[in-house]
Amino acid sequence: MTLLQGFGDQIIAGAITTLQVALTSLVLGIAVGLCGAMAKVNGIGALRWLADGYTTIVRGIPELLIILILYFGGTVALTALLGRYVEVDAFAAGVFALTIVFGAYATEVFRAALLAVPRSQIEAAHALALSRALTFRLVILPQMWRYALPGLGNLWLTLLKDTALISVVGLEDLMRKASVAAGATHDPLTFYLIAAALYLTFTSVSLVGLALLEQRAGRGVRISE
Protein backbone atom coordinates (compact mmCIF):
# COMPACT_ATOMS: atom_id res chain seq x y z
CA MET A 1 0.00 0.00 0.00
CA THR A 2 1.69 3.11 -1.21
CA LEU A 3 -1.22 5.46 -1.01
CA LEU A 4 -0.07 8.32 1.22
CA GLN A 5 2.97 6.26 2.12
CA GLY A 6 0.81 3.75 3.93
CA PHE A 7 -0.99 6.33 6.09
CA GLY A 8 -4.23 6.35 4.06
CA ASP A 9 -6.04 3.89 6.32
CA GLN A 10 -4.92 5.79 9.40
CA ILE A 11 -6.23 9.06 8.05
CA ILE A 12 -9.57 7.46 7.20
CA ALA A 13 -9.82 5.92 10.66
CA GLY A 14 -9.03 9.33 12.17
CA ALA A 15 -11.69 11.00 10.07
CA ILE A 16 -14.27 8.45 11.21
CA THR A 17 -13.33 9.05 14.86
CA THR A 18 -13.66 12.79 14.32
CA LEU A 19 -17.15 12.35 12.90
CA GLN A 20 -18.15 9.99 15.69
CA VAL A 21 -17.02 12.38 18.40
CA ALA A 22 -18.68 15.31 16.71
CA LEU A 23 -22.00 13.61 16.03
CA THR A 24 -22.24 12.10 19.51
CA SER A 25 -21.48 15.47 21.09
CA LEU A 26 -24.02 17.11 18.82
CA VAL A 27 -26.86 14.83 19.89
CA LEU A 28 -25.98 15.03 23.59
CA GLY A 29 -25.27 18.75 23.35
CA ILE A 30 -28.67 19.43 21.81
CA ALA A 31 -30.29 17.59 24.71
CA VAL A 32 -28.25 19.62 27.21
CA GLY A 33 -29.06 22.82 25.35
CA LEU A 34 -32.81 22.12 25.37
CA CYS A 35 -32.76 21.39 29.09
CA GLY A 36 -30.65 24.47 29.75
CA ALA A 37 -32.99 26.67 27.74
CA MET A 38 -36.07 25.35 29.50
CA ALA A 39 -34.40 25.88 32.85
CA LYS A 40 -33.63 29.46 31.88
CA VAL A 41 -37.05 30.28 30.48
CA ASN A 42 -39.42 28.25 32.67
CA GLY A 43 -37.20 27.13 35.50
CA ILE A 44 -37.69 27.96 39.15
CA GLY A 45 -35.02 29.93 41.02
CA ALA A 46 -32.34 27.34 41.68
CA LEU A 47 -32.57 25.71 38.26
CA ARG A 48 -32.36 29.01 36.45
CA TRP A 49 -29.44 30.06 38.60
CA LEU A 50 -27.68 26.79 37.78
CA ALA A 51 -28.24 27.22 34.05
CA ASP A 52 -27.02 30.81 34.15
CA GLY A 53 -23.87 29.76 36.00
CA TYR A 54 -23.22 26.95 33.54
CA THR A 55 -23.43 29.07 30.41
CA THR A 56 -21.52 31.95 31.95
CA ILE A 57 -18.62 29.77 33.02
CA VAL A 58 -18.35 27.62 29.91
CA ARG A 59 -18.67 30.49 27.48
CA GLY A 60 -16.08 32.49 29.39
CA ILE A 61 -13.24 29.96 29.22
CA PRO A 62 -11.26 28.84 26.16
CA GLU A 63 -12.46 25.48 24.83
CA LEU A 64 -8.98 24.01 25.02
CA LEU A 65 -8.78 24.77 28.73
CA ILE A 66 -12.20 23.26 29.35
CA ILE A 67 -11.10 20.09 27.61
CA LEU A 68 -7.90 19.88 29.61
CA ILE A 69 -9.61 20.65 32.92
CA LEU A 70 -12.37 18.12 32.32
CA TYR A 71 -9.88 15.48 31.17
CA PHE A 72 -7.48 15.83 34.07
CA GLY A 73 -10.26 16.66 36.51
CA GLY A 74 -12.10 13.55 35.33
CA THR A 75 -9.02 11.43 35.86
CA VAL A 76 -8.54 12.78 39.37
CA ALA A 77 -12.20 12.40 40.24
CA LEU A 78 -12.49 8.85 38.92
CA THR A 79 -9.25 7.83 40.58
CA ALA A 80 -10.45 9.17 43.91
CA LEU A 81 -13.82 7.55 43.43
CA LEU A 82 -12.56 4.10 42.51
CA GLY A 83 -9.51 4.15 44.74
CA ARG A 84 -7.07 3.27 41.96
CA TYR A 85 -5.53 5.15 39.08
CA VAL A 86 -7.90 5.37 36.17
CA GLU A 87 -7.03 6.90 32.86
CA VAL A 88 -10.05 8.45 31.24
CA ASP A 89 -10.86 7.16 27.80
CA ALA A 90 -9.99 9.91 25.32
CA PHE A 91 -13.14 9.36 23.28
CA ALA A 92 -15.42 9.60 26.31
CA ALA A 93 -13.52 12.60 27.63
CA GLY A 94 -13.73 14.31 24.25
CA VAL A 95 -17.43 13.71 23.90
CA PHE A 96 -18.02 14.87 27.45
CA ALA A 97 -16.02 18.07 27.04
CA LEU A 98 -17.50 18.96 23.66
CA THR A 99 -21.01 18.22 24.92
CA ILE A 100 -20.48 20.61 27.81
CA VAL A 101 -19.19 23.31 25.48
CA PHE A 102 -21.79 22.79 22.75
CA GLY A 103 -24.57 22.53 25.34
CA ALA A 104 -23.72 25.93 26.81
CA TYR A 105 -23.86 27.74 23.51
CA ALA A 106 -26.89 25.72 22.41
CA THR A 107 -28.66 26.74 25.62
CA GLU A 108 -28.46 30.36 24.51
CA VAL A 109 -29.58 29.54 20.96
CA PHE A 110 -32.55 27.53 22.22
CA ARG A 111 -33.44 30.14 24.81
CA ALA A 112 -33.75 32.79 22.14
CA ALA A 113 -35.69 30.36 19.94
CA LEU A 114 -38.09 29.49 22.77
CA LEU A 115 -38.82 33.14 23.35
CA ALA A 116 -39.30 33.71 19.63
CA VAL A 117 -42.29 31.36 19.40
CA PRO A 118 -45.29 33.71 19.38
CA ARG A 119 -47.41 33.65 22.53
CA SER A 120 -50.54 33.35 20.39
CA GLN A 121 -49.40 30.00 18.96
CA ILE A 122 -49.05 28.62 22.48
CA GLU A 123 -52.35 30.09 23.66
CA ALA A 124 -54.13 28.36 20.79
CA ALA A 125 -52.79 25.06 22.10
CA HIS A 126 -53.82 25.82 25.69
CA ALA A 127 -57.28 26.88 24.59
CA LEU A 128 -57.68 23.46 22.95
CA ALA A 129 -56.85 21.81 26.29
CA LEU A 130 -53.48 20.50 25.15
CA SER A 131 -51.30 19.83 28.19
CA ARG A 132 -48.02 21.64 28.72
CA ALA A 133 -46.05 18.63 27.53
CA LEU A 134 -48.15 18.25 24.38
CA THR A 135 -47.99 21.97 23.70
CA PHE A 136 -44.22 21.75 23.89
CA ARG A 137 -43.99 18.74 21.62
CA LEU A 138 -46.59 19.71 19.04
CA VAL A 139 -46.21 23.48 18.87
CA ILE A 140 -43.19 24.95 20.62
CA LEU A 141 -40.51 22.45 19.63
CA PRO A 142 -41.27 22.37 15.89
CA GLN A 143 -41.57 26.14 15.77
CA MET A 144 -38.43 26.86 17.74
CA TRP A 145 -36.36 24.72 15.36
CA ARG A 146 -36.92 27.30 12.71
CA TYR A 147 -35.43 30.00 14.92
CA ALA A 148 -32.69 27.76 16.32
CA LEU A 149 -31.37 26.13 13.17
CA PRO A 150 -29.14 28.91 11.83
CA GLY A 151 -27.47 29.33 15.20
CA LEU A 152 -27.16 25.58 15.72
CA GLY A 153 -25.61 25.26 12.27
CA ASN A 154 -22.84 27.63 13.23
CA LEU A 155 -22.31 25.79 16.49
CA TRP A 156 -22.08 22.50 14.60
CA LEU A 157 -19.32 23.86 12.35
CA THR A 158 -17.42 25.03 15.39
CA LEU A 159 -17.95 21.67 17.07
CA LEU A 160 -16.62 19.78 14.06
CA LYS A 161 -13.45 21.83 14.10
CA ASP A 162 -13.14 21.77 17.91
CA THR A 163 -12.77 17.99 17.78
CA ALA A 164 -9.21 18.72 16.68
CA LEU A 165 -8.58 20.07 20.19
CA ILE A 166 -9.33 16.66 21.69
CA SER A 167 -6.15 15.33 20.10
CA VAL A 168 -4.22 17.02 22.93
CA VAL A 169 -5.59 14.40 25.33
CA GLY A 170 -4.73 11.59 22.96
CA LEU A 171 -7.84 11.05 20.89
CA GLU A 172 -6.87 9.33 17.64
CA ASP A 173 -8.83 11.72 15.52
CA LEU A 174 -8.17 13.16 12.09
CA MET A 175 -5.96 15.93 13.48
CA ARG A 176 -3.80 13.55 15.49
CA LYS A 177 -3.47 11.01 12.70
CA ALA A 178 -2.46 13.75 10.32
CA SER A 179 0.20 15.08 12.66
CA VAL A 180 1.57 11.59 13.33
CA ALA A 181 1.80 10.95 9.60
CA ALA A 182 3.33 14.37 9.08
CA GLY A 183 6.05 13.59 11.62
CA ALA A 184 6.75 10.09 10.35
CA THR A 185 6.98 10.96 6.69
CA HIS A 186 8.68 14.36 6.97
CA ASP A 187 6.02 15.60 4.58
CA PRO A 188 3.83 17.72 6.87
CA LEU A 189 2.33 19.93 4.18
CA THR A 190 0.73 17.04 2.31
CA PHE A 191 -0.89 15.56 5.40
CA TYR A 192 -2.07 18.84 6.84
CA LEU A 193 -3.54 19.77 3.49
CA ILE A 194 -5.31 16.44 3.32
CA ALA A 195 -6.67 16.94 6.82
CA ALA A 196 -7.79 20.45 5.89
CA ALA A 197 -9.50 19.13 2.77
CA LEU A 198 -11.37 16.52 4.83
CA TYR A 199 -12.55 19.07 7.42
CA LEU A 200 -13.66 21.30 4.59
CA THR A 201 -15.56 18.44 3.00
CA PHE A 202 -17.39 17.70 6.23
CA THR A 203 -18.30 21.31 6.83
CA SER A 204 -19.42 21.83 3.22
CA VAL A 205 -21.66 18.78 3.31
CA SER A 206 -23.02 20.08 6.63
CA LEU A 207 -23.85 23.42 5.06
CA VAL A 208 -25.84 21.72 2.32
CA GLY A 209 -27.64 19.54 4.85
CA LEU A 210 -28.35 22.57 6.97
CA ALA A 211 -29.87 24.46 4.07
CA LEU A 212 -32.21 21.51 3.47
CA LEU A 213 -33.15 21.36 7.15
CA GLU A 214 -33.86 25.07 7.24
CA GLN A 215 -36.08 24.72 4.22
CA ARG A 216 -38.01 21.95 5.93
CA ALA A 217 -38.28 23.85 9.20
CA GLY A 218 -39.59 26.85 7.29
CA ARG A 219 -42.57 24.82 6.09
CA GLY A 220 -45.68 26.89 6.02
CA VAL A 221 -43.88 30.06 6.94
CA ARG A 222 -43.03 31.38 3.56
CA ILE A 223 -45.85 31.67 1.12
CA SER A 224 -45.07 29.21 -1.63
CA GLU A 225 -44.66 30.77 -5.03
Partner 1 sequence: MLKIKPATGQFKTELSDTKAALHVVNLRKRFGQLEVIKGLSLTANQGDVISILGSSGSGKSTLLRCLNFLEPPNEGEIWIGGRQIQARAGATGQREINALRINLGMVFQTFNLWLHKTVLENIVEAPIHVLGLSKAEAHLRAEELLLKVGLADKRHAYPSQLSGGQQQRIAIARALAMEPEILLFDEPTSALDPELVGDVLKVIRALADEGRTMLIVTHELNFARQVSNRIVFLHEGQIEEEGPPDAFFNHPSSPRVRQFLSSQRDGYHR
Interface ranges with partner 1 (CB under 8 A): 120-121, 123-132, 134, 138-139, 142-143, 146, 219-224
Q: How far is the CB of 212 from partner 1 (least distance, A)?
A: 16
CB nearer partner 1, residue 131 or residue 204: 131
* Amino acid identity at 107: T
Q: How far is the CB of 129 from partner 1 (least distance, A)?
A: 4
Q: What is the DSSP letter of 221?
A: T
CA distances from 158 to 22, 35, 98, 114, 205 (A): 10, 21, 10, 22, 14
CB nearer partner 1, residue 2 or residue 224: 224
CB nearer partner 1, residue 121 or residue 154: 121
CA dihedral (192, 198, 203, 209) in degrees, to 10, reads: 180
Q: Is the dihedral of CA 67, 160, 30, 106 positive or negative?
A: positive
Q: How far is the CB of 65 from partner 1 (least distance, A)?
A: 40
Task: Give the N- to C-terminal CA distance of the chain in Å, as an integer.
Answer: 54
Q: How far is the CB of 128 from partner 1 (least distance, A)?
A: 4
CB nearer partner 1, residue 5 or residue 42: 42
| Residue 43 to residue 48: CA distance in whole angstroms | 5
Q: How far is the CB of 206 from partner 1 (least distance, A)?
A: 24
CB nearer partner 1, residue 59 or residue 126: 126
Closest residue by Cα to residue 196 from 171, 172, 179: 179
